[in-house]
Every structure is written in structure tokens, then in C-alpha cells.
């Protein structure tokens, strides 16, 4: 689990860094609470890192929002 490109992460969070941070934080809390990891990871790796890796491979994505006109 090495370095993950920011653009790769942003593509799964509608291009918003705010949504990316919220998505990663919520997923990391789920993992810390005992939810299964969606990618293979060493147990010593922190939940926040696992969450970012799940986002980068597309296992976790932000919900699409409807834009108002």
C-alpha cells in the first residue's frame, strides 16, 4: 500500500476534496468499528490508510448529488 495519487482519489469523490475527506473519515470509522476491509491490508495499517486505498481502487465511492439549476 504505497502512495496514492490525489487525482485518482478525487475521481471517486466527484472531484471534491471536501467529499473525499468526509468519505475517507466515515469509512475509516467504519473499519475501526469492525466493518470488514474491502481490500487486502496488513492488520498493522491504520484504518484511514485502508479507507484511502479502498477509495483509490473504486471499492468505496461518494454518492452522486443532483445539481440544482
Q: Distance (Å, rounded) from C-alpha 18 to C-alpha 43? A: 28
- Please give the pLDDT value at position 49: 92
C-alpha cell at 25: 473519515
Confidence band of 1 (pLDDT split at 50, 70, 90): low
pLDDT in tens, 18-67: 999 999 999 999 999 999 999 998 989 999 999 999 999 989 888 776 76
Please give the model's pTM, rounded to 2 decimal places. 0.82
**Relative orientation angle of helices 17-32 and 47-56, to the nearest 10 degrees:** 130
Please give the residue that has the higher pLDDT: either 57 or 3.
57
Amino acid at each position: 500500500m504505497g502512495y496514492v495519487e490525489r487525482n485518482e482519489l478525487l475521481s471517486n469523490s466527484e472531484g471534491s476534496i471536501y467529499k473525499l475527506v468526509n468519505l475517507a473519515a466515515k469509512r475509516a470509522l467504519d473499519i475501526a468499528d469492525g466493518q470488514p476491509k474491502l481490500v487486502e491490508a496488513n492488520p498493522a495499517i491504520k484504518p484511514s490508510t485502508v479507507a484511502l486505498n479502498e477509495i483509490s481502487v473504486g471499492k468505496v465511492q461518494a454518492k452522486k448529488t443532483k445539481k440544482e439549476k
